[in-house]
Amino acid sequence: MHADLIGLGGIVLLAGLLARFGRRYGFPTVPCYMLVGILLGPGTPGPVLVEHPEDLALLASLGLVLLLFHLGVEFPAEQVLGSGRRLFIAAGVYIGLNVSAGLALGFALGWGTSEALVIAGALGISSSAIATKLLIELRRLTNAETPIILGIIVIEDMFLAFYLALLSPVLNDSGSTADFVVDLLVSFGFLVLLFALARWGARAISLLLDSREDELLAILMVGLVVLVAGIALEVGVSEAIGALMIGLVVSRTTLKERVEQLVLPLRDVFAAIFFVSFGLTIDVNDLGAVALPVAIAAVVTLVTNMTAGIVTARLFGFNQRAATNIGLTVLGRGEFSLILATLAIAAGLDERMGPFVALYVLVLAIAAPLLAAQSKHFTWCVPDRLLRSRWQYVRAETMSTSCIHQDQMEITETDVDVCQQCVDEGGTWVQLRLCMKCGLVACCDDSPARHSRAHYQDEHHPVIQSLEPGADWQYCYVDEILVREPLGRSRTTS
């Protein structure tokens, strides 16, 4: 017992230290936790802190349950349903491309149908934690494409619930077709029951959990989550889907904000144990056998993500920079891929599934932050003809939804079609810009005299508008960004 406690404490402490070190260089925590588990587990030569990974099975399961429960509590159902048709199309394209590519790769590997379905899910669902973290660290929260990225992530989470319900009877190895159909109906019936509970039973759940003391609320909450997860397992549905759905129920109660605050530290601690425990099950000798399939999977994911980014940018009228931002920000894979791999291992599928998903997650968790940070260098891959953007002249920039100088956009039209200063000086210009504060028409930065910028430096009028036909984009000299109204609002400029 003492040795077990020392091993658990030591490996969790080292995982936290490595994650803290990784955060300094912009790396997500999930691969750090996995790496510690791999390096200090029984499958790697050298020191072993936890000899028997199965000893942590219950704690790891609790981490999985709390991870999915917190996701359900945070799920913004109203925001998703009110996001409009284009967002659902964009998310459908993203999920469809990645899942289809994953399924094709899974069948090409020849590991089995069940394995192909797990690979499809692992390749198809991005890491919301990694994507959100990248948006914050890269300071892109005000970019025009950011609400779309967040919307895609949320719809992915919704898709995860249905995919887990579909996968459960497959992993349970239903015998005949009739047994499979029965198991599938049970899985979706359980989903419908919990959806109904979320719709009409939130008040009852609120009364069950309500307590003025945070200690008692936390105890009641954990008890309910674990109970529902256990019932889900009993009826042939994974504990993950049970936890996710009861989280959706709690999200509709008046206790939502308190529960979010209470479950967050519990989720972080036990989720770390879950990822470490997954790493402990990986034998480094098995990684070489899956290196080529992982390399192919990573390239396929990069291609499908970039394709989905271009389609999304075209749907919303974004430019090349926004297209690459979308595709590369949601490139990372993490917690959900590992959850699927854990379910596959528990179901006794091909032993290569664990090493494959582990190495795949590690590769993309490292590649995603590096590529997303350099997204501007990938804009040359996106030809103008693929997009309908009106901002092609400044294709290396992205658009902001919250320029603080929009109150100075007073003039949007003019009959002037020359740069008068260039005319007076006998010079020429390339393109014309309209000062939206005073209405001055002057030449652009590609022109020899750059009168528009000189006007800004003299008068400090921040926002200009292009006067080129079909290119009515606006640019803020102060913020150095393109300006666009928030999504869903009509533009006031012509």
Residue 26: inside a domain, yes or no? yes
φ, ψ of residue 468 to 5 degrees: the values are -75, 140
Which of 87, 93, 162, 95 has the alpha carbon at shortest distance from 124?
95
Q: What CATH number corresponds to the domain at position 425?
A: 3.30.40.10
234 and 377 part of one domain: yes
Q: How far apart, in Å, do the first and last CA atoms of the chain sit?
A: 73
Q: Is residue 148 part of a domain?
A: yes
Instruction: Note whether 152 and 227 are same-domain residues.
Output: yes
Note whether residue 396 is domain-resident. no
In a domain, 192, yes or no: yes
Task: Kindly state whether residues 7 and 149 are assigned to the same domain.
Answer: yes
Same domain, 458 and 337: no
> Rounded to an integer, what distance in angstroms lies between the CA atom of residue 99 and that of residue 240?
20
CA distance 484 to 487: 8
Domain count, the chain: 2
Pair (211, 323) in one structural domain = yes
Structural domain of 142: 2-384
The answer to whether the beta carbons of residues 417 and 432 sit under 8 Å apart is yes
The answer on 245 and 217 residing in a single domain is yes
Determine if the pTM surpasses 0.85: no
Is residue 493 in a domain? no
395 domain-assigned: no
Query: In sequence order, what are the beta bridge partners of 23?
Result: none
CATH number at residue 204: 1.20.1530.20
Whether residues 227 and 352 fall in one domain: yes
Neighbours of 74 (CB within 10 A): 17
Residue 227 lies in a domain: yes
* Rounded distance between C-alpha atoms, residue 19 and residue 317, angstroms: 38
Same domain? For 367 and 419 the reply is no
Same domain (yes/no): 259, 288: yes
Nearest Cα neighbor of 331 from 153, 157, 167 is 153
Is 394 inside any structural domain? no
Domain boundary among 328, 358, 384: 384
The pLDDT tens digits along the chain (494 residues) read 556 889 899 999 999 999 899 877 767 787 888 889 989 989 888 898 988 888 888 898 898 888 878 877 876 666 555 557 888 899 999 999 999 999 999 999 999 989 999 999 999 988 876 786 677 667 776 677 777 887 788 788 778 777 877 787 777 665 566 666 776 677 777 778 877 877 788 888 888 998 889 899 999 999 999 999 888 878 766 777 788 788 888 888 888 889 988 988 898 899 889 889 888 988 888 888 999 999 999 999 999 999 999 999 888 878 788 889 999 999 988 778 888 888 888 888 888 998 999 899 888 878 888 888 888 788 888 877 777 554 444 444 555 545 667 777 888 889 999 999 999 999 999 889 999 999 999 999 888 999 999 999 999 999 999 888 766 678 888 877 777 544 434 443 33
Q: How far apart are CA 191 and CA 201, in angstroms?
A: 14
